[in-house]
């Protein structure tokens, strides 16, 4: 059926030292984590590239480690989303667990890895946005002068000008550190399927501390799979200047300010994505209004 195909060479390093030597020999190789994104592309097989090299990271022991203390949880890049959910459901921030749960079946979360969801070529999953609002950091390993160097970076710093995650050439995310959040407002919503309908899907993640009627340290990120993550400190500072509850007029003004920014970053978002973004944003505002109007249990 597929006569004349060349089979990609698979390299299976057992540790990061072996990975480094393979990358030195084959700098153009593709990194393979869980493979959930690569395998769902319509042109995944047969491979169009001749002499393709694949580095399968599933056997690198360092990338499967998971540790936590009272301040943060640290996951190796090859820890699957299912493992994250089963080990840290009670302690991890709600925005992250909600994000994992929106993916749906464990048939997918058992294969998808945290590193793979961040560093997906030409596509943005809903995870970088969530990790940005959670102020997560990632350890990036990269080759410099034929040696493997490592550097901890905030996920925000990995975003390029177009809102996509960009790593140094031959770079690899080896660990992701997520701090246990003390914020009292966590929100994540995804409308539309990122994998099946990326043209129209939108996700938004939001975290903040609502103290009386103002937001402290709010962070909001919108994700459009084919465009990237829309995150700006300007939007965050608009949120921190608000006093809740907001009336309709204030919500309209806030919405137009946010859309001005989104459309300047991503002018090509579809009308459906625009409508969905507006819907998610209004849901967040409604939640915050409700919280601001509710008397805390200890004050009753």
Among 39, 153, 216, 293, binds other proteins (CB under 8 A): 39
Whole-angstrom Cα distance, residue 167 to residue 158?
7
How crowded is residue 200: how many other Cβ atoms within 10 Å of its Cβ? 18
Among 5, 28, 153, 293, binds other proteins (CB under 8 A): 5
Q: How far is the CB of 211 from other proteins (least distance, A)?
A: 32
Tracing tokens 């890895």 back to the chain, one arrives at 113
Instruction: Considering only the stretches 38-46, 89-97, 170-178, 239-247, report the one whose residues sit in contact with other proteins under the rule CB under 8 A.
Output: 38-46
Among 16, 18, 26, 35, binds other proteins (CB under 8 A): 35
3-class secondary structure per residue, the chain = CCCCCCCCEEECCCCHHHHHHHHHHCCCCEEECCCHHHHHCCCCCCCCCCCCEEEEHHHCHHHHCEEECCCEEEEECCCEHHHHHHHHCCCCCHHHHHHHHHHCCHHHHCCCEHHHHHCCCCCCCCHHHHHHHCCCEEEEEEEECCEEEEEEEEHHHHECCCCCECCCCCCEEEEEEEECCCCCEEEEEEECCCCCCCCCCEEEEEEEEEECCEEEEEEEEEEECCCEEEECHHHHHHHHCCECCCCHHHHHHHHHHHHHHHHHHCCCCCHHHHHHHHHHHHHHHHHHHHHHHCCCHHHC
Q: How far is the CB of 119 from other proteins (least distance, A)?
A: 18
Instruction: Considering only the stretches 40-48, 169-177, 197-205, 235-243, report the one whose residues sit in contact with other proteins under the rule CB under 8 A.
Output: 40-48
Residue 82 or 135: which CB sits closer to other proteins?
A: 82
How crowded is residue 61: how many other Cβ atoms within 10 Å of its Cβ? 12
14 touches other proteins by CB under 8 A? no
Among 18, 22, 26, 58, binds other proteins (CB under 8 A): 58
The Cβ-side half-sphere exposure at 12, using a 13 Å CA radius, reads: 3
Residue 17 or 46: which CB sits closer to other proteins?
A: 46
Q: How far is the CB of 8 from other proteins (least distance, A)?
A: 5
Question: Would you give the distance in Å from CA 117 to the centre of its chain?
Answer: 6
Residue 200 or 277: which CB sits closer to other proteins?
A: 200
Instruction: Considering only the stretches 9-17, 143-151, 161-169, 174-182, report the one whose residues sit in contact with other proteins under the rule CB under 8 A.
Output: 9-17
Residue 58 or 198: which CB sits closer to other proteins?
A: 58
46 touches other proteins by CB under 8 A? yes
9 touches other proteins by CB under 8 A? yes
Interaction residues for other proteins, span 100-159 (CB under 8 A): 101, 104-108, 110-111
50 touches other proteins by CB under 8 A? no
Site size toward other proteins, by CB under 8 A: 33
Interaction residues for other proteins, span 194-213 (CB under 8 A): 195-196
2 touches other proteins by CB under 8 A? yes
Binding residues for other proteins, rule: CB under 8 A, are: 1-2, 5, 7-10, 12, 32, 35-36, 39-42, 44-47, 52, 54, 56, 58, 101, 104-108, 110-111, 195-196
């Amino acid at each position: 059926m597929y006569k004349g195909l060349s089979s990609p060479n698979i390299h299976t390093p057992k540790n990061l030292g072996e990975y480094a030597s393979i990358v030195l020999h084959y700098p153009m190789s593709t990194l393979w984590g869980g493979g959930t994104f690569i395998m769902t592309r319509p042109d995944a097989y047969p491979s169009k590239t001749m002499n393709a090299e694949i580095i399968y990271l599933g056997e690198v022991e360092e990338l499967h480690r998971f540790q936590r203390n009272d301040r943060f949880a640290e996951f190796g890049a090859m820890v699957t989303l299912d493992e994250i959910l089963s080990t840290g459901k009670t302690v991890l921030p709600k925005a992250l667990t909600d994000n994992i749960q929106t993916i749906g079946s464990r048939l997918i979360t058992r294969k998808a890895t945290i590193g793979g969801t961040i560093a997906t070529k030409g596509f943005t999953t809903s995870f970088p946005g969530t990790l940005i609002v959670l102020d997560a950091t990632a350890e990036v390993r990269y080759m410099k002068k034929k040696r493997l160097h490592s550097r901890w970076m905030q996920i925000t710093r990995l975003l390029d000008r177009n809102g996509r995650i960009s790593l140094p050439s031959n770079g690899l995310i080896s660990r992701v550190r997520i701090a246990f959040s003390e914020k009292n407002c966590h929100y994540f919503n995804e409308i539309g399927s990122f994998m099946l309908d990326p043209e129209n899907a939108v996700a938004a993640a939001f975290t903040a501390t609502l103290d009386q009627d103002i937001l402290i340290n709010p962070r909001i990120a919108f994700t459009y799979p084919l465009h990237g993550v829309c995150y700006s400190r300007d939007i965050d500072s608009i949120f921190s200047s608000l006093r809740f509850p907001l009336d309709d007029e204030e919500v309209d003004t806030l919405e137009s300010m946010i859309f001005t920014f989104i459309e300047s970053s991503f002018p090509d978002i579809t009308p459906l994505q625009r409508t969905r973004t507006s819907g998610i944003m209004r849901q967040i505002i409604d939640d915050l209004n409700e919280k601001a109007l509710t008397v805390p249990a200890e004050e009753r």
